[in-house]
Structure 1
Amino acid sequence: MQINYNRRQKSDIVISKPSASEVGKYLKTWKNLKNYKLQEDALDKLFFELLPSNEEISDILLKVATLNDFYSTNIFSVYPVAEHILSLKIDERLRQGDVL
């Protein structure tokens, strides 16, 4: 007896080659999703208006926890991540446009 779980076979999956037009297609779809747009607006407000600096652990914790929730990053414990960001003293580099 053969059981069919209706799973796609590897040969059924088509993955487009990365390109500018492919990225544009997904960005257009993403921008039209209401919840994503509102979440991005909320993140902009949080990062650029309410808590623009990364000099207090409580500010960083709020940002890390929010990103973790909005993007489902599955960070098990956000505190060590926030501590690490604090230790990097990144504000001046961010002001200069250094995102690496």
Structure 2
Amino acid sequence: MPGRRSRDKGANFEREMARLFREAYPDARRGIGQSRAAGEVPDVDGTPWWVECKRQKAPNIRAAYRQAQEATDGRPVLVVTKADREDILVTMSWKDFVRWTTEILKQS
């Protein structure tokens, strides 16, 4: 049952991330695979980003980023990863990071 355990671990991580995103984005929720229009949906929807979540022993951040880049509906890509016994990491492009921080600075 290692495949099922792995899928369950990933689904649980997506639910956890949706819960954490709801602190800032009340509409955040776990995306479920594909939309009715047969297009991809992010792992966490209801945010301004295309969120890709990976919870694995040693997540491949670059592969997850490429996957999200190919699937995004135009939203900036945000990859959230958690390796076993490690902190949660967030990865985004430098361009998106600068744009995001600039917007925050304008608001303060």
Higher-Rg structure is: 1
Q: Which has the higher strand share?
A: 2
TM bin (shorter chain): under 0.3
What TM-score, normalized to structure 1?
A: 0.26
Task: Identify the structure with the greater helix proportion.
Answer: 1
